Structure 1
Amino acid sequence: MMIKALLFDKDGTLFQFKATWEAWAHAVLLRLTDGDRERAAEVGQDIGFDMDTQTFKRDSVVIAGTPAEIVTALQKHFGMSSNALETILNDEAETAPQVEAVALVPLMESLRARGLALGVATNDAERPARQHLEGAGVSELFDFISGYDSGNGVKPDAAPCLAFARKVDVRSEQVAMVGDSLHDLKAGRAAGMRTIGVLTGLATQGELSPYADVVLDNIGQIPAWLDKQA
């Protein structure tokens, strides 16, 4: 069946995961501990982040979790409210460096030129997500931008995928969900969508393949894949 819409994850899909979130975790931990690197390293273990190597463990809550889930992992270390902690996480996320997986403007413009509806469903908060997309100059090219706090549910539940399909008035089976994590692909499958895995996050081809119709090196290969579906 012809693909009429594409729904993208953000981190690890539109933007390279490591370049953005390793810098974010380092900044957040130092801010929360007032620059105490020893304490920051200890706290980092609870979100699966190694301060010495500045790398994430593969099961880190940051990879596919929501800011609220990260707050839960951090809260026992700090005497502040969950709202205050989440504000710090989102503030740092807004200014975290964004490295595009591929040049986003020409790719998204080319996809729009094909008549495709485009959306973003992220487990990040909506505010920093919009900031990142605006910074890349592509926010206006998306018909739908949903974060974990947008009222559309969170992945791996199908709800944000179904919300996108309703928004653009396209049947689920005519949508492809594009993502770098199992949360993305499981959400797409649960919604009855095609699924495209990409290798710009931390998951391997072997991990993504059971849940993906295809695994690509990056989103720049989507146009060639679409041509094969015609």
Structure 2
Amino acid sequence: MTDPDFSAIKAILFDKDGTLLRYDESWGPVNREAAHIAANGDAALEARLLDVGGMDDASGHTRADSLFAAGSAADIARGLIAVGSPLDAEDLTQKLDALFLRAADYSVPAADLAGFFGKLKARGLKLGVASSDNEAAIRATADRFDFARYLDFVTGYDSGHGVKPEPGMLLAFASAVGVDPSEVAMVGDNSHDMHVGLSAGAGLRIAVLTGTGTTETLSPLADIVLADITLIEDLLP
């Protein structure tokens, strides 16, 4: 895999969890709480829901492309209800959205996000975040780590631009900032993110290893796999 050509890239769209934030450190406690909420007091069911969601109870690691790793609150609610959660889908979705919004207060960044985004913006790049989380949680994260001022676009699963792995989020970003999708680099940590880039016709697909994906799961779909987002700076012209 050779270094990708950034010469035509005018905008970068980032996933949030596992890309801007270290996934296991940030979301391990949140996933446990999500299973606890969905189990509604049934300890045996709680353990089952955690496993079905994709998290290993002993290690705290969440599997690549699992329900917790790639799903929206609505996806997770439907998945947990399908295997036994007694809660109503709308009620559980609302409870999970509220939990995920609170989670911004405990997130662990993958880098100095304010400094990183500031350097990219200084190069004239348009910048956005597209997450399977809700939009309010994305904005709370951007405010907490002081990079909201550098963003040109934010979209969550509830923003009206579709959900991953559909192309809508990237296409909406490209339209909003006035570039062609081929001038956008998509950055993420799982296959859903790479498929967004593929289906939308992104110019580059960049995978990082701070989330649930691995070199083995990401290499077939990405133009390059990096340890973390900071290495993107070394690739810019």
Contact 1:40 1:51 survives alignment (8 Å):
no
The residue correspondences of 1:178-217 to structure 2 (distance < 5 A) are 178-193=187-202, 194-217=204-227
Q: Is 1:109–2:118 an aligned residue pair?
A: yes
Question: Which residue in the other structure is 1:222 paired with?
Answer: 232
Residue 172 of structure 1 deviates from its aligned partner by 1.3
Cα separation, 1, equivalents of 2:149 and 2:117: 10
Q: 1:213 is aligned with what amino acid? A: D
Question: Which residue in the other structure is 1:130 paired with?
Answer: 139
Question: Which residue in the other structure is 1:83 paired with?
Answer: 90
Residue 216 of structure 1 deviates from its aligned partner by 1.1
Query: Between Structure 1 and Structure 2, how many residues are aligned?
Result: 227
The residue correspondences of 1:132-151 to structure 2 (distance < 5 A) are 132-151=141-160
Cα separation, 1, equivalents of 2:58 and 2:234: 40
Cα separation, 1, equivalents of 2:185 and 2:80: 34
Q: Is 1:173–2:179 an aligned residue pair?
A: no
Q: CA-to-partner distance for each residue in 1:186-220, whole Å, 9 max, x for gaps?
A: 11122111111111112112221222121111100
Q: 2:14 is aligned with what amino acid? A: F
Q: Structure 1 unaligned runs (5+)?
A: none
Q: 2:51 aligns with which of 45, 50, 69?
A: 45
Cα separation, 2, equivalents of 1:151 and 1:180: 23
Q: TM-score, normalised by structure 1?
A: 0.92
Residue 111 of structure 1 deviates from its aligned partner by 0.4
Q: Structure 2 unaligned runs (5+)?
A: 1-6
Question: Which residue in the other structure is 2:101 paired with?
Answer: 94
Cα separation, 1, equivalents of 2:54 and 2:183: 36
Q: 2:206 is aligned with what amino acid? A: I
Q: Secondary structure at the match of 1:49?
A: coil
Residue 146 of structure 1 deviates from its aligned partner by 0.3
Residue 132 of structure 1 deviates from its aligned partner by 1.7
Cα separation, 2, equivalents of 1:219 and 1:53: 25
Question: Which residue in the other structure is 2:29 paired with?
Answer: 23
Cα separation, 1, equivalents of 2:86 and 2:189: 34
Residue 87 of structure 1 deviates from its aligned partner by 1.4
Residue 83 of structure 1 deviates from its aligned partner by 1.7
Q: 1:166 is aligned with what amino acid? A: S
Cα separation, 1, equivalents of 2:179 and 2:168: 15
Structural RMSD (CA):
1.7
Pair 159,217 (structure 1): closer, same or farther in 2 beyond 3 Å: same
Higher alpha-carbon deviation: 112-121 or 43-52: 43-52
Pair 180,101 (structure 1): closer, same or farther in 2 beyond 3 Å: same
